[in-house]
Structure 1
Amino acid sequence: MNLRAFVRLSRIEHGILTSLIVIASYVIAGGRSAIAMVLLFLSSLLTEIFLFATNDIYNIEEDRINRPDAPLVRGEVSINEAWALSLLSVVIAVSLNVLGIVMGYLMIWSIVILIMAIVLGFSYNYRLKRVIIVNNAFVAVTSSLTFLYGLYAVSPTVPTLNLPYLLFIVSFLATMGRELVKGAIDVAGDVRAGVKTVANTYGIKIAITLAVIFTLVAVLISPLIIIYALRNPYGLVLSVGVLATDAILMYISIALLRNSNYMGRFRVLSLGAMAITIIAYLLFALLVTVH
């Protein structure tokens, strides 16, 4: 397996971003241990590699149509190599978390979030991606748990309402919208692989309408993030990011309702919009750390 194929299969860029979000939540929740940050970063990164690799393993039929350049489809990586990579990654990820708990750098609740992400993500990859609505919900929950992993690594008990919870909720809703649109775009491959989505079961128009509803509900809830963030002197940084994200999400939602051919751009721009809030969140955490 060549390095380029490994990077494409493991989606390392996504894993790095996910790991940075986890560290941001850890810092905002009050964590300051450099060792804990390293353990959280690596366990998050390796978990993402596990989930992406197993997704490609079980997704190979859809990818023959929707992603013909995928490493497994092109034969750049064998199924056995992909399994070896994924299993090694998840074992090390869990081991690092357990090690952090034993050494006292991470709280025990963190392993609950990590295992939840692994189980939900793998369940989606293995079979539940074929179950309508459940498939979208599992993706949205798994990706949004990123905001809670760092939070739960700090608190010795189940954390009460905190900024990461609000980000988790908004992320879940926005991701649901994006996943519904993704299903509408990937209708051909999903039908061939037996994957049931709202788009190929009830029609693209219904999928688009639901996607817009989820997205706009996320926008309506997002001011709570701003209210909570402004309790901190550096909260303005996150607030500006949230406002920019909201503006983009509202614009692309209206555009999608007017023209269903906007699906491809909606998918790309919604991810970009969410990235703005993530970047602002990371900057906010950095400023909190420096202060």
Structure 2
Amino acid sequence: MNLRAFVKLSRIEHGVLTSLIVIASYVIAGGRNTIAMVLLFLSSLLTEIFLFTTNDIYNIEEDRINRPDAPLVRGEVSIKEAWFLSLLSLIIAILLNALGIVMKYLMTWSIVILLMAIILGFSYNYRLKRVIIVNNILVATTSSLTFLYGLYATSSIPPTLNIPYLLFTVSFLATIGRELVKGAIDVAGDVRASVKTIANVYGIKSAVILAVVFTFIAVFISPLIVIQALHEFYGLVLSVGVLMTDAILIYICIMLLRSTNYMDRFRFWSLGAMAITIIAYLVFALLLFVH
């Protein structure tokens, strides 16, 4: 397996971003231990590698149409190599978390969140991707648990810090919206692989309208993040990021309602909009860490 194929298969860039979000939640919840941060970063990264790799393994038929340049489709990586990479990543991720708990760098609740993400993500990859609505909910839940993993690493009881919970909720809703549009774009490959989505069962227009509804609900809830953040040191940074994200999401929703030809741009700009909040979240955590 060459390095380029490994990076593309495992989506390391997504894993790094996910791991940084986890550390941000850890810091915002009061965590400051460097070893704990390293363990959280690596376990998150390796879990993402496991989930993305197994997704490509089970997704190969759809990828022959929707992603013909995928490493498994092109034969740059064999199925056997992909399984070895994914299982090795999974084992090490769980062991690192368990080690952190045994050494008291991480709290027990953290492994509950980690295992939840692994089980939900793999269930989606293995079979539930083909179940309408359930597929969108699983993707949204798994990706949004990132905001809670670091939070739950800092307390022996379920924590009550509001900001990560609110970000989890808003991320969940916005991700469902984005996944609905993704399903509308990938109709051809999904039909071939017997994947049922709102778009190929009820029509692209229905998927688009539902995507806009979920995105608008996310925007409607997001001011609660702003209110909560303004009570924290440097919370203005996060508040500005959230408001910028909201402005972009509102604009692309309006454009999508005007024309379904805007689906590709909606998918791109919705991800970019959420990235603004994520960057603000990371900066917020960094400022708290050095304060």
TM-score by length of 1: 1.00
- CA offset at residue 228 of structure 1? 0.6
Amino acid at match of 1:194: S
The residue aligned with 2:216 is 216
Deviations 1:74-115 (A, max 9, x none): 000000000000000000000000000000000000000000
Residue 287 (structure 2) aligns with? 287
C-alpha distance in structure 1 between counterparts of 2:165 and 2:237, whole Å: 18
Aligned-partner residue type, residue 106 of structure 2: L
Cross-structure match for 1:137: 137
User: SS at 2:150's partner residue?
Assistant: helix
Which amino acid in structure 2 is aligned with residue 206 of structure 1? S
Shift of 1:161: 4.4
Instruction: Determine what percentage of the aligned residue pairs are the same residue.
Output: 82
**Would the aligned equivalents of 2:12 and 2:49 in 1 still touch at CA under 8 Å?**
yes
Partner Cα distance (2:262, 2:65) in 1: 21
RMSD after superposition: 0.4
Q: Which structure 2 residues correspond to residues 32-47 of structure 1 after superposition, within 5 A? A: 32-47=32-47
Using the TM superposition, give the Cα deviation of residue 160 of structure 1 relative to its aligned residue in structure 2, in angstroms: 1.8
Residues 208 and 260 in structure 2, CA contact (< 8 A), matched pair in contact too: yes
Read off the aligned partner of 1:276 and give its amino acid letter.
I
Task: Report the 3-state secondary structure (helix = DSSP H, G, I; strand = E; otherwise coil) of the residue aligned with 1:251.
Answer: helix
What amino acid is the match of 1:27? V
1:63 alignment counterpart: 63
Who is 2:265 aligned against? Answer: 265
Amino acid at match of 1:86: S
- Structure 2: how far apart are the matches of 1:160 and 1:45? 25
2:113 maps to what in 1?
A: 113
Who is 2:207 aligned against? Answer: 207
Match of 2:31 in 1: 31
Measured in 1, the distance between the counterparts of 2:107 and 2:227 equals: 28
**Structure 2 SS opposite 1:77:** coil
Total equivalences in the alignment: 291
Instruction: Give me the whole-angstrom Cα distance separating, in 2, the residues matched to 1:248 and 1:66.
Output: 27
TM-score, with structure 2 as normaliser: 1.00
Q: Distance in 2 between matches of 1:238 and 1:155?
A: 23
8 Å CA contact 2:54–2:122 kept in 1: the answer is: yes
Counterpart mapping for 1:81-160 below 5 A: 81-160=81-160
Give the Cα separation in 1 of the matches to 2:156 and 2:13. 31
Q: Which runs of 5+ in 1 are unaligned?
A: none
Please tell me the residue identity of whatever aligns with 1:150. G
